[in-house]
Structure 1
Amino acid sequence: MIFLGAVFICLGLFSLLAQSGNFLEHRRLQALKHHGVDGQAVYAFHEYVTNSHRVFLDICLPEGQPRARFHEYMQALPGPEGTVVPVVYDSRKPKRAKVGVRAELDYEYELGSVLLLGAGGLILIFAGVVLCLIDALV
């Protein structure tokens, strides 16, 4: 039973690791939805990556604040360099920004996978620990 418990624990840890990216994206979008400010960003340059572009944008911040640059993966370029695009950014952490407007942010998209894989992973870890404890006590 210890082997089965160890397998459950490993599967649970893998499940938690698999959903961690979606969890971080969900939290970032949720913070932008609640604390974000609509603004503008200037398209600086891009790098081609497999089947998409990593687009670097500079946020237009109020006077006196340091420049904030962020990147986002896009299928199509927003236009020629210097193009102004709408952006949502958090004034506390402007490098965590997203292209678009605040009203269109949807952070519920990742919630299903976070709940399914996260809760499933925690249940598997708990079941694995219980199986290991039962075997150790018997």
Structure 2
Amino acid sequence: MATVLANIGVLLIPLGMLICFLNSGGLVVFLKLRALKLYGVEGEAIPTLDEWISKGRRVFYDVLIPGGDPMRPPRFIEIGRDPAGPVGSVVPVVYDRRKPKRARTGTLDEIDFADEWGGVKLFWGTGLAVMALGALLVLVFH
């Protein structure tokens, strides 16, 4: 009986890892949005290129940082969202001073990561619990 429980534990660990892996993209989006909410600064950006792709639109922006190099401004790309304005206009943007390429059009009040947080809690909470249960079964019954 102990060997069976240890073998179940060995199977639960990769299952938990798979559950966590299924939401790895949601975790990345959540961490980026949370970092913007915590460390973000409102500023301005200029859309330089707007093109259609299979996922909607891809818009390239140049962030206007006060005191920054106007010849080489930090750039970021938004995919799937409608552009905040036409190419060449100035639009509001939230960017991280430490990493200006991590930016998003809009204001700080518009950043909402509640949808991603629900998925992260569901998948990562379940996955980590399954891995812990598997490790416990292996340690106790092996």
SS at match of 1:110: helix
Kindly state the Cα deviation for residue 83 of structure 1 after the two structures are TM-superposed: 2.5
> Which piece of structure 1 moves more, 3-12 or 112-121?
3-12
The ranges of structure 1 where at least 4 consecutive aligned residues each deviate by more than 6 angstroms after the TM superposition are: none
The percent identity for this pair of structures is 38
1:38-89 deviation line (CA, Å, top 9, x unaligned): 1111111134332312211110111334510001113434454213221101
SS at match of 1:131: helix
Structure 2 unaligned residues grouped into runs of 5+? none
Residue 106 of structure 2 corresponds to residue 100 of structure 1: yes
TM-score when normalising by structure 2:
0.83
Kindly state the Cα deviation for residue 34 of structure 1 after the two structures are TM-superposed: 2.0
Kindly state the Cα deviation for residue 126 of structure 1 after the two structures are TM-superposed: 1.2
1:77-112 deviation line (CA, Å, top 9, x unaligned): 445421322110111211100111111111222111
Aligned to 2:28: 24
1:37/1:77 CA distance change after superposition, 3 Å: closer
RMSD value over aligned CA atoms?
1.9
Residue 91 of structure 2 corresponds to residue 61 of structure 1: no
SS at match of 2:87: coil
Residue 55 of structure 2 corresponds to residue 51 of structure 1: yes
Query: What is the rounded CA distance, in whole Å, between the counterparts of 1:104 and 1:96 in structure 2?
Result: 16
Contact 1:56 / 1:71 at 8 angstroms: preserved in 2? Answer: yes
Aligned to 2:121: 115
Instruction: State the one-letter code of the partner of 1:87.
Output: V
Structure 1 unaligned residues grouped into runs of 5+? none
Query: What is the rounded CA distance, in whole Å, between the counterparts of 1:131 and 1:92 in structure 2?
Result: 43
Contact 1:51 / 1:75 at 8 angstroms: preserved in 2? Answer: no
> Which piece of structure 1 moves more, 15-24 or 34-43?
15-24
